[in-house]
């Protein structure tokens, strides 16, 4: 059997010590300040540029959709240079984007700012952080990916708690510049780690392992398609439902306050799901834990249709736990088939439909809700079942990465 060597960047082999908490913190900053931020600042940002909030959200959806196609490119450079270096570029670009947004007035600054933010989201969020975890210590990638997602689970809450007081105290323009420096500080931190965790061997050639569809094994091709299908269907349904939960529960209970409380439950339970996966599922095939957990999503969507407060609370908890575990699944299962040398490119292609689903889910959710009415959740159930079926199907494909077979 072929034994693959530990991952080596063109600059040398990584040390075994993984800066996992720095990678986790980078996800709070990248997701929080480059994505979740706009849920809070869309109104003042629209006022600063003299446009509607819908305009702001539309531009955000478009740039998230565009950066989906950058995934394979970022994956290539992560394999060639190292994921940490690509994350430095992403965070630096995101900070530049926030600085441009702070100008206000002319729409050109808004569009330029969002272009840089698209580069930031594409180059600094989960796919690259997961790639860094795999490159730094492939043997412990499952555990380290779980740790990274723990931080990501609280990105929205911490961002809103931080940004709210800052916006009120400093105003939009100064606040955006301050956030820019926070993002840049994380970029400098990862740049320092990239230098520290690689040995300086300039004589090594700048080579990169081949990654061609025609050269992949059959099980690798099938796994890649199934993971892409699961991610695309799952995140399309997730983002569609997430953006419509408040509307759904408001109509169900005729109480906006209760609707907000119910909609907020799933976030913390994503973290609960990830903790349970690490504690109880660490000795179980990650494909199986992901497949089982994926069933919690359609079950939760079915339960959410009943006008019963307790059932609704349980439904939202299950919704969060199901998605919490499958986030780890998508990060680690890719590594079961694709070793560290090519993980970045494989993850880049696999994540393309997922990111597109995440970007256009809110629009799709709104259209489905207004078209189907009370049958809205059944369409999301169908998407979640497709995502779950894809994960179950992966169990039939034998893993090929020798690192996780030994």
Q: Given this model, what pLDDT does residue 207 score?
A: 58
How much is the average pLDDT of 264-288? 86
Per-residue confidence at 390, pLDDT binned at 50, 70, 90? very high
pLDDT band at 195 (very low <50, low <70, confident <90, very high): confident
Domain boundaries, the chain: 20-196, 213-397
Distance (Å, whole) CA 229 – CA 361: 15
Express each pLDDT in 151-175 by its tens digit. Answer: 887 887 788 788 888 998 999 999 9
Range with lowest mean pLDDT among 109-113, 114-118, 140-144, 202-206? 202-206
Label each residue of the chain as H, E or C: CCCCCCCEECCEEECCCCCHHHHHHHHHHHHHHHHHHHHHHHHHHHHHHCCCHHHHHHHHHHHHHHHHCCHHHHHHHHHHHCHHHHHHHHHHHHHHHHHHHCCCCCHHHHHHHHHHHHHHHHHHCHHHHHHHHHHHCHHHHHHHHHHHHHHHHCHHHHHHHHHHHHHHHHCHHHHHHHHHHHHHHHHHHHHHHHHHCECCCCCCCCCCCCCCHHHCCHHHHHHHHHHHHHHHHHHHHHHHHHHHHHHHHHHHHCCHHHHHHHHHCHHHHHHHHHHHHHHHCCCCCHHHHHHHHHCHHHHHHHHCCCCCHHHHHHHHHHHHHHHHHHHHHHHHHHHHHCCHHHHHHHHHHHHHHHHHHHHHHHHHHHHHHHHHHHHHHHHHHHHHHHHHHHHHHHCCCCCCCHHHCC
What is d(CA 99, CA 396) in angstroms, rounded to the nearest whole number? 49
* Banded model confidence at residue 1, pLDDT cuts 50, 70, 90: very low
**What number is the average pLDDT over the span 9-28?**
69
Q: Which CATH architecture has domain 20-196?
A: Up-down Bundle (1.20)
pLDDT above 70: residue 9? no
**More reliable by pLDDT, 352 or 206:** 352
CATH homologous superfamily of domain 213-397?
MFS general substrate transporter like domains (1.20.1250.20)
User: Can you tell me the distance from the alpha carbon of 208 to that of 193, in angstroms, rounded to the nearest whole number?
Assistant: 22
State if pTM tops 0.85: no
Could you check whether 20-196 and 213-397 share the same CATH topology? yes
Contacts of 236 (CB under 8 A, 6+ apart): 356, 357, 358, 360, 361, 364, 383
Using a pLDDT cut of 70, give the percent of the chain over it.
Answer: 93
What value does the mean pLDDT take over residues 186-212? 72
From 119-123, 337-341, 402-406, the region with the lowest mean pLDDT? 402-406
pLDDT higher than threshold 50 for residue 376: yes
What residues contact residue 186 under an 8 Å CB cut-off, 6+ apart? Answer: 25, 26, 29, 30, 91
- What integer pLDDT is reported at residue 240 of this predicted model? 86
- Does the pLDDT at position 7 exceed 70? no
Q: What's the chain's average pLDDT?
A: 87
Rounded Cα distance between 236 and 353, Å, is 9
Examine the pLDDT at 12 and tell me if it is beyond 50.
Answer: no
pLDDT of residue 203: 39
pLDDT value for 77: 93
Top-confidence residue, 51 or 5: 51
Identify the pLDDT of residue 198.
Answer: 63
Mean pLDDT of 254-273: 86
């Amino acid at each position: 059997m072929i034994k693959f060597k530990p991952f080596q960047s063109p600059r040398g082999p990584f040390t075994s010590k993984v800066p996992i908490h720095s990678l986790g913190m980078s996800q709070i900053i990248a997701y929080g300040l480059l994505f979740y931020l706009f849920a809070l600042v869309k109104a003042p940002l629209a006022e600063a540029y003299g446009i509607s909030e819908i305009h702001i959200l539309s531009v955000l959806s478009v740039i998230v959709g565009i950066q989906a196609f950058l995934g394979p490119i970022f994956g290539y450079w992560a394999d060639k240079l190292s994921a940490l270096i690509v994350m430095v570029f992403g965070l630096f670009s995101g900070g530049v984007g926030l600085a441009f947004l702070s100008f206000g007035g002319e729409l050109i600054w808004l569009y330029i700012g969002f272009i840089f933010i698209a580069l930031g989201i594409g180059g600094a969020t989960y796919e690259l952080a997961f790639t860094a975890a795999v490159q730094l210590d492939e043997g412990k990638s499952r555990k380290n990916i779980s740790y990274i997602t723990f931080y990501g689970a609280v990105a929205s809450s911490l961002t809103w708690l931080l940004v709210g007081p800052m916006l009120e105290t400093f105003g939009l323009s100064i606040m955006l510049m301050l956030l820019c420096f926070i993002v840049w500080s994380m970029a400098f931190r990862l740049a320092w780690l990239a230098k520290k965790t690689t040995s300086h061997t300039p004589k090594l050639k700048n080579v990169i392992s081949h990654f061609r569809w025609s050269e992949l094994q059959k099980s690798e091709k099938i796994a890649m398609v199934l993971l892409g299908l699961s991610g695309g269907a799952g995140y399309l349904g997730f983002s569609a439902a997430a953006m419509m939960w408040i509307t759904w529960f408001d109509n169900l209970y005729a109480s906006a306050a209760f609707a907000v409380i119910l909609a907020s439950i799933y976030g913390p339970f994503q973290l609960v799901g990830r903790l349970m996966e690490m504690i109880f599922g660490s000795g179980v095939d990650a494909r199986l834990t992901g497949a089982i957990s994926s069933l919690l999503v359609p079950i939760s969507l079915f339960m959410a249709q009943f006008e019963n407060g307790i059932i609704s609370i349980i439904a939202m908890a299950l919704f969060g736990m199901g998605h919490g575990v499958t986030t780890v699944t998508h990060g680690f299962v890719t590594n079961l088939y694709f070793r560290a040398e090519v993980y970045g490119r494989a993850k880049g292609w696999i994540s393309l439909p997922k990111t597109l689903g995440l970007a256009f889910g809110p629009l799709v959710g709104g259209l489905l809700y207004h078209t189907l009415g009370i049958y809205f959740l059944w369409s999301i159930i169908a998407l979640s079942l497709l995502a779950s079926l894809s994960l179950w199907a992966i169990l039939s494909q034998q893993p090929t990465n020798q690192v996780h077979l030994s």
